[in-house]
A and B are shown apart, each in its own frame.
Chain A
Amino acid sequence: MEIDPFIFRLSIFILSIFVGYYVVWSVTPSLHTPLMSVTNAISSVIIVGAIIAALSGSDGVVFSSSSIYGFLAIILAAVNIFGGFLVTQRMLAMYKKKKKDK
Chain B
Amino acid sequence: MSANLSAILYLVSGVLFILALRGLSSPETSRQGNLFGIIGMVIAVTVTFLSVGNFSSGFVYVLIFLAIGGSIGAFIAYRIPMTAMPELVAGFHSLVGLAAVFVAISAFINPSAFNLGTPGNIKLASLIEMAIGAAVGAITFSGSVIAFLKLQGIMSGAPITFKGQHLLNALLLILIVILTIYLCSKQSSNLFWIIIAISFLIGFLIIIPIGGADMPVVISMLNSYSGWAAAGIGFTLENTALIITGALVGSSGAILSYIMCKGMNRSFFNVILGGFGATDQTSGSQSKEQKPVKSGNADDAAFLMKNASSVIIVPGYGMAVAQAQHALREMVDTLKKNDIKVSYAIHPVAGRMPGHMNVLLAEANVPYDEVFELEEINNDFANADVAFVIGANDVTNPVAKTDPQSPIYGMPVLDVEKCKSVLFVKRSLSPGYAGIDNDLFYKENTLMLFADAKKMTEDITKNL
Q: Which residues of A contact B (CB under 8 A)?
A: 5-6, 9, 12-14, 16-21, 23-57, 59, 62, 64-67, 69-99
Interface 9-residue window, one of B31-39, B158-166, B272-280, B380-388: B31-39
**Closest 4 pairs (CB-CB, A-B):** A78-B69, A56-B113, A32-B355, A83-B73
Q: Which of A14, A23, A75 contacts B65 (CB 8 A)?
A: A75
Contact indicator B99/A94 (Cβ below 8 Å): no
Q: Which of B44, B89, B355 contacts A31 (CB 8 A)?
A: B355
Contact indicator A80/B95 (Cβ below 8 Å): yes
8 pairs, CB–CB < 8 Å, chain A vs chain B: A17-B251, A36-B253, A39-B248, A54-B58, A56-B114, A73-B103, A80-B95, A86-B77
Shortest distance from the beta carbon of B89 to any chain A beta carbon, whole Å: 5
How far, in angstroms, from A86 to B69 measured CA to CA in the complex?
13
B298 adjacent to chain A (CB < 8 Å)? no
Binding site secondary structure of chain A: helix
Contact indicator A30/B238 (Cβ below 8 Å): no
Contact indicator B356/A33 (Cβ below 8 Å): yes
How far, in angstroms, from A12 to B246 measured CA to CA in the complex?
11
B96 adjacent to chain A (CB < 8 Å)? yes
Shortest distance from the beta carbon of A81 to any chain B beta carbon, whole Å: 6
Which residues does chain A contribute within 8 Å of B56, judged by CB atoms? 59, 62
Contact indicator B92/A84 (Cβ below 8 Å): yes
CB contact under 8 A between A91 and B62, given known A5-B238, A73-B103: no
Q: Which of A19, A43, A67, A81 contacts B73 (CB 8 A)?
A: A81
How far, in angstroms, from A53 to B58 measured CA to CA in the complex?
11
Q: What 7 additional pairs, Cβ within 8 angstroms, besides A43-B96, A45-B17?
A: A16-B243, A25-B255, A32-B355, A36-B253, A40-B249, A62-B56, A85-B34
How far, in angstroms, from A82 to B77 measured CA to CA in the complex?
8
Contact indicator B85/A33 (Cβ below 8 Å): yes
How far, in angstroms, from A47 to B52 measured CA to CA in the complex?
13
B328 adjacent to chain A (CB < 8 Å)? no
How far, in angstroms, from A27 to B238 measured CA to CA in the complex?
29
CB contact under 8 A between A53 and B89, given known A33-B354, A42-B41: no
CB contact under 8 A between A43 and B245, given known A24-B255, A36-B223, A98-B367: yes
Which of chain B's residues 209-241 have a Cβ closer than 8 Å to chain A?
219-220, 223, 226-227, 229-231, 233-241
Residue of B whose beta carbon sits closest to that of A50: B103
Contact indicator B66/A35 (Cβ below 8 Å): no
Contact indicator A45/B245 (Cβ below 8 Å): yes
Shortest distance from the beta carbon of B7 to any chain A beta carbon, whole Å: 10
CB contact under 8 A between A39 and B355, given known A51-B48, A51-B62: no
Contact indicator A78/B65 (Cβ below 8 Å): yes
Which residues does chain B contribute within 8 Å of A26, judged by CB atoms? 22, 25
Contact indicator A82/B109 (Cβ below 8 Å): no
Contact indicator A32/B358 (Cβ below 8 Å): yes
Contact indicator A23/B248 (Cβ below 8 Å): yes
Shortest distance from the beta carbon of B341 to any chain A beta carbon, whole Å: 12
Contact indicator B255/A55 (Cβ below 8 Å): no
How far, in angstroms, from A97 to B30 measured CA to CA in the complex?
13
Contact indicator A74/B18 (Cβ below 8 Å): no
CB contact under 8 A between A80 and B24, given known A16-B248, A33-B356, A35-B355: no
B403 adjacent to chain A (CB < 8 Å)? no
Contact indicator A42/B113 (Cβ below 8 Å): no
Which of chain B's residues 53-67 have a Cβ closer than 8 Å to chain A?
54, 56-59, 61-62, 65-67
CB contact under 8 A between A69 and B102, given known A82-B74, A83-B77: yes
Shortest distance from the beta carbon of B253 to any chain A beta carbon, whole Å: 7
Which residues does chain A contribute within 8 Å of B52, judged by CB atoms? 51-52, 55
Which residues does chain B contribute within 8 Å of A78, judged by CB atoms? 65-70, 72-73
Which of chain B's residues 346-373 have a Cβ closer than 8 Å to chain A?
346, 348, 353-356, 358-359, 362-363, 365, 367-371, 373
CB contact under 8 A between A33 and B358, given known A40-B92, A74-B65, A92-B31: yes
CB contact under 8 A between A71 and B61, given known A19-B18, A27-B25, A43-B227: yes
Residue of A whose beta carbon sits closest to that of B19: A23
Contact indicator B37/A42 (Cβ below 8 Å): yes
Shortest distance from the beta carbon of A6 to any chain B beta carbon, whole Å: 6
Shortest distance from the beta carbon of B266 to any chain A beta carbon, whole Å: 18
Shortest distance from the beta carbon of B182 to any chain A beta carbon, whole Å: 22
Which residues does chain A contribute within 8 Å of B181, judged by CB atoms? none
How far, in angstroms, from A85 to B72 measured CA to CA in the complex?
13
Residue of B whose beta carbon sits closest to that of A10: B235
CB contact under 8 A between A70 and B368, given known A52-B52, A85-B34: no
CB contact under 8 A between A83 and B102, given known A32-B256, A71-B61: no
Q: Which of A16, A25, A40, A57 contacts B93 (CB 8 A)?
A: A40
B309 adjacent to chain A (CB < 8 Å)? no
How far, in angstroms, from A68 to B78 measured CA to CA in the complex?
29
Which residues does chain B contribute within 8 Å of A79, judged by CB atoms? 69-70, 72-73, 76, 92, 95
Which residues does chain A contribute within 8 Å of B205, judged by CB atoms? none
How far, in angstroms, from A16 to B10 measured CA to CA in the complex?
14
Shortest distance from the beta carbon of A43 to any chain B beta carbon, whole Å: 4
Which residues does chain A contribute within 8 Å of B321, judged by CB atoms? none
